[in-house]
Chain A
């Protein structure tokens, strides 16, 4: 048993960024032991997309190309991943901790009779054992964990924490045959949210608003700043519960866990349940009129002031910068 198998996610035939991050990390980790890296890609009409994975370190891509796999199903996709595991006998199976990866990894793990290390933000290899860091207790602590000697080691990697890296290379395509695909829970449709807004879970930059915005109309200010930066709009639970913005924008314990390069919190106090969702962001910025707001304790940069004055001024400054 050796090597790392990476589950790769696609939507309409295009590979998701988070999967390339997981694949790149597998490539970096495997180098230490000279392990092979392979990908497994279920979908429909995906052969073209599969070829592109070589550039991110996959020497082999197992594809399960079937009309019944066009949309996600835990049972169908798990069968494909397990079939690839049986062929490759890897030491570890990586997933990205996306909605799909977090759904699928435990189902695959249970099929293989192993556990799982979910949503890890750090990974090192000791011999053949992965030692992972996982945020727990709302990121108030980190657990350093391993799979207690059980293999394959099923691990899901938090999106945007590990870098995607094009290293060049070609992948051999291997078709997975003989799948039965007995799927009971079937996805009928994938419905994109109104306006096709960028999702906080996938954004490099997030502009978030909280109760300090005072009302739904002021999310326009967040959208304006976000638009300039190519950012997604996030929100605290207080703003979501007040009905100012849809829950899909909520960041935190009962919202999404995000890890962007830049997180700008406007009028958000920084309650622990909010921090749980964004404290692994690389750069945190806070705009808040209360100098004692807890958000300033985690902020790399902050402005103490009225967001209704500071944010429009920021917008002006960024426009100037762009024009220059």
Chain B
């Protein structure tokens, strides 16, 4: 089998977020960039298939600026065989359809049995690219996947929904979006890190795909950020000291919740 893993390179989830000078993006100074956590589950699933001898090729693809190469190297270090870097994406950040168009253009002539993506790219938090990519490539998709049984030319997967899960069967190729619980991502071992340095990263310019970022972000844009704002300062809450008399503190809390907040 040949597996494609889509990876997006995002600010570390522990980053302190400041608004940039244009008022529409974050200030990137001091930001540490990581492989989006859900993409780690997507990659791990492909690497497990390779370990089991079911997959002979794991290719990681990203559409991102130069720094995203570090994310690809991280994936190579964990064991991915190939990496593809479509360079760009700063102007289309958050525009899921534009991103899906770029990925679809890059993948349409490649050979693959499955495309694994994360359920959500953290930061922009859209949860859209996988489903849109499936539609553009005319593939079935299943999102929010927490378990996959790999069969011949098909998968049986569990998809997490409110109050339970759905059991879904799909032929391959398909797009599957990985949710936490699917697996435990591995770390890169030193040997892998050394080996990754020698693995090539294929660079693709948007023009080679017949696309250009100015059109994607201009006439064809489907997502317009008017502004990015910090959450309003929250007024200080009512904090009750309950170390000495927890009983009294609990009574006061329940009273406040009932009478003042009318929470129950």
Contacts and interface: CB of A to CB of B under 8 A. Distances in A.
Nearest to A98: B162
Dominant SS among interface residues on chain A: mixed
A188 B167 contact: yes
B116 interface: no
A136 B124 contact: yes
B224 A205 contact: no
A70 interface: no
A142 B140 CA distance: 32
B8 interface: no
Given A74-B131, A75-B140, A317-B254, A186 B169 contact: yes
A273 B26 CA distance: 18
A106 B127 contact: yes
Nearest to A97: B127
A144 B170 CA distance: 37
A247 B100 CA distance: 29
Interface residues of B, number: 86
Contacts of B125: 118-119, 134-138
A187 B166 contact: yes
A250 B223 contact: no
Interface string B115-143: 00000001111111111101110001111
B149 interface: no
Contacts of A248: 160
A141 B230 contact: yes
Given A107-B131, A205-B264, A301-B261, A143 B230 contact: no
B90 to A, nearest CB: 16
A145 B123 CA distance: 15
Interface in B230-263: 230-231, 234, 237-243, 246-247, 249-251, 253-258, 261, 263
Contact of A310 (B127, B142, B225, B250): B250
A107 B37 contact: no
B241 to A, nearest CB: 5
A59 to B, nearest CB: 28
Contact of A185 (B123, B128, B170, B247): B170
B214 interface: no
Interface in A205-228: 205
A139 B129 CA distance: 20
Given A103-B131, A141-B230, A185-B170, 14 more contacts: A107-B134, A109-B132, A109-B222, A115-B221, A144-B229, A145-B225, A185-B174, A190-B167, A247-B181, A304-B240, A309-B242, A313-B246, A313-B250, A318-B254
Top 5 A-B pairs ranked by shortest CB distance?
Answer: A115-B222, A305-B242, A313-B250, A110-B135, A184-B140
14 contacts: A103-B143, A103-B144, A107-B134, A110-B131, A138-B125, A143-B227, A148-B223, A185-B170, A188-B169, A189-B166, A262-B257, A309-B246, A310-B253, A313-B249
Interface of B: 11, 13-17, 19, 26, 37-38, 94-98, 100, 122-132, 134-136, 140-144, 146, 156, 159-171, 174, 180-181, 221-231, 234, 237-243, 246-247, 249-251, 253-258, 261, 263-264
